[in-house]
Amino acid sequence: MAKALFRGVCASTITPFGADGKPDLGRIRPHIDWIIADGAHALSPLGSSGEFAALDSDQRRAVLEAALEANHGRLPTVAGTHHCTTAEAVVLSRHAEKAGADSLLVVPPYYMAPTPAQVMVHYRRIAEAVSIPVVLYHNVPLTAVDLRTEHLVRLFEEKAIGGVKMSHPEPDRICELLQATGGKLFIYAGIDTVAFEGLCHGAHGWISGIPSMVPGFARKVYEAIAERSDLPAARALWARLAQLMRLQFSAYHSRGEGAHWFSVMKASLNLIGPPVGDPCPPVLPLEERHRQQLIPILRDLGYTIRGN
């Protein structure tokens, strides 16, 4: 693997949609310009926040090319090349490398729930097809695949992966993996609910909703913990940021009613940055009652609400 992985906060950039339901590529550049200006260390097009599952392969390629062109080499890019088949994941991964991505983000094959052994073969075949690092996107709820620490260590030792985005609600999964690899495997907090603990354990960075909505404030938390070891300052910052995290995951945690994480994310970006439109149905725009909760939270984090 020729390139090094990034450290810091990584914004999962969104995919804007037009009235026809197709990606609105013209809105990608202003969105990425804003994300960079606000302080992200890296970009991840076509992660969950990029709504990759709503796009066919040609659309994914077009979105990624537009994002890479907009970034123009300013920040490291971690391109999502997920697919439920190994063959198409390989095709998308090769395209991403050729288009200029610095690394890949790949969630395990979804829906069919392959065995750990089968998933490991999936990653080996992708790694054989490219020369840039692969970050394994560990996301049990949306894939029904739970690679344990021993599986991840083996893939790392085989050079099939260079990093893991750990979207697991147990902070010790990050801690255990860091200890098992001596910190050599790059580990990223992949869900905001464990970001504080994950960074304190020594995670190399943070890829999730909050760095994608408010990258500048997320960066303050990262710097306080990872660069200055200033835990009191980090706690004070997190006390403010946690309000956004709890609203964002209210439906996710209840497995029912509440604000949908992605509705919160797109609403936030529409309020404080260039317009990015609404989520692709079945996910719907944020309900007004949740929007009224969101506005003062964003203001408290230092963001100006557009039109207010």
Q: Name which of 285, 104, 304, 105 is nearest 214 in CA terms.
A: 304
Preceding amide of 282 cis, omega within 30: yes
Quick check: is 252 catalytic? Answer: no
Catalytic residue among 123, 165, 220, 266: 165
Task: For tokens 């083996």, name the residue.
Answer: 154
The crossing angle, in degrees rounded to 10, of helices 288-300 and 231-248 is 170
Rounded to whole angstroms, the Cα distance separating 244 from 246 reads 6
Contact, 129 vs 180, CB < 8 A?
Answer: no
Catalytic residue among 3, 22, 98, 137: 137
Quick check: is 137 catalytic? Answer: yes
Rounded to whole angstroms, the Cα distance separating 182 from 276 reads 40
Task: For tokens 């200006």, name the residue.
Answer: 37
Mapped onto helix, strand or coil, the DSSP state of residue 97 is: helix
Q: What are the residues whose beta carbons fall under 8 Å from the beta carbon of 82, sequence distance 6 or more? A: 46, 52, 89, 92, 105, 106, 107, 110, 137
What residues are annotated to the active site? 137, 165
